[in-house]
Structure 1
Amino acid sequence: MAPGLDAIVLAAGTGRRMGGAKGRILIGGVSLARRHLREARVVGCRRVVIVASPEECAWLTRECALDATEGAAPVIVVSSSAPDQAGSLALAVQALGGPPSTALGEFVLITPIDTLPVSTATLASLLDALAAGALAATPTCEGRGGHPAILRRAALARYRRGSAPPAPPLRELLTSLGPLRVRVPVDDPDVLTDLDTPEDVTRLTGAPPRFCSEV
C-alpha cells in the first residue's frame, strides 16, 4: 500500500437506533472496532485514529489493545462530544497532527464504524486512482456509492484547528472537490454495507445484533 497512509474510524454516534454502540457489534465473534483496526494494520496504516463518544473511549482502548503487537500501528482513541460528524472528523484530523501536506504519498483512509472493512484489493484500487493526482477516491459497486474514502491530507486542511469557515460534513467536502474526487468501480459489495438498525445486522448475519458486553 501507499507510504504515509493513516486511518480514521468515525465511531462517535450514540447507536440509539441500533440499541447499542456500533463499535461493539460482533460480526463472526469479533467487534466491528477490532475488524476495522485489523484492516488498517493489514494495509500498512502507520497510525489509526478512532473517534468515539466519551462513554466508549475506555472500552475501545482496551478492545484495541487485544490486537497489539510489537511494531503494530499505534491507535489513538479520541473522545468526541461534537454534535455532528464534521466535528468528530475535525478532532480526528487534529489528532493526526502535522501541517496539511501536498506531498504525494500522504493519504488518509476515512471510514464510519457501521460498515464492514472492505477488501485490500478495493483499497488498492482507490490508491491507484489517486496516483494521477486526484484529491479523493471513493468506491462504487452496482452503480451505488459506498465507503471508505481515501483523501490526500491536503484535502483535509479545512478540518484543522482554526480553519474558517467551519468544516463541512465529509460528503459535502467530497462533492466540492468536483473532478478531483474520483469514483472507482469495484467488485466488492461490502462497500455498500450500512449498519444503522438491528434489521440491517439481521440481514447481514441472519441473527439479531450481539454486542461485546465488556464495560
Structure 2
Amino acid sequence: MAEQVKLFGVWGSPFVRRVEIALKMKGVEYEFIEEDLTNKSPLLLKYNPVHKKIPVLLHNGKPICESVVIIEYIDETWKGTPILPADPYDRAMARFWAKFIDEKCLPALWKACWSKDEEQEKAMEEACELLKTLEAQLKGNKFFGGDNIGLVDIVANFIGFWVEVLLEATGSTDLLTDEKFPMLCKWKHAYVNCPVIKENLPPKEKLLAFFRARQQPTSGPKYE
C-alpha cells in the first residue's frame, strides 16, 4: 500500500517551508494543501484542534503538528539524508539551538523589522545580540550542521531568507550585514544557494508584495 503524505500550509510560511525542505531532503512525495488562515478549513481544525495552526503533516491519516516536531518525525520515519545528528549530545544541542531560534531570535527579528523610531533602535540592539550568539555557533563551519544542512539550518530559514525580504518591505535599517555578521552572511549565501533550499523558497517578489500590503502587525508572524 502506497504511503499517503499530505502537508497543510500556506505558500509564504517559513514554518511550512521548513517541513517541505525536510520532505525534499528525504525524497518523500507529498500532496500540498494550501490553507486560508482567515478561514481555516474543517480539516485543519480537525487535525490540529489544540493550536489550530499550520503546518500539519498527515502521514497515513495520522496528523503531526509543530514544524520542529514534524521535522524530527520525518527524520525518524524516512531513511536517506540525516537531518539530526546521530550522537545524543549533538542531537540535544541541535534541539537547544532550534528552540533558541524560535523562542528568542524570531520574535526579536520580527519586532526589529516592524517597529519604529526609538522602539526599533532598541529592538535592533536586542536582535543583534541574539544574532551574535547564534553566529558563534557556526564555529567556522559552512552550516550549523557542519558540512551539511541539518535541523538548526532548516529552523534558521527565516533568518536566511525572510528577514531580508521583511527589511526591504518595511524600509528598515540593514540588520544582517557582512560587517556585523560575516559568518552568518556567509552561511546565508551558502544556505539559500543550496539546490534543495533554493527550489523550496517562496518567490521573493510575491513575498515582498505580501508584506508591503500588510498593515503593521502587533504580535508576531501570522505564519504559524
TM-score norm. by structure 1 comes to: 0.28
TM-score norm. by structure 2 comes to: 0.27
Q: Which has the higher contact order (CA 8 A, sep 6+)?
A: 1
Give the strand-richer structure, 1 or 2: 1
Rg (Cα) greater in structure = 2
Give the helix-richer structure, 1 or 2: 2
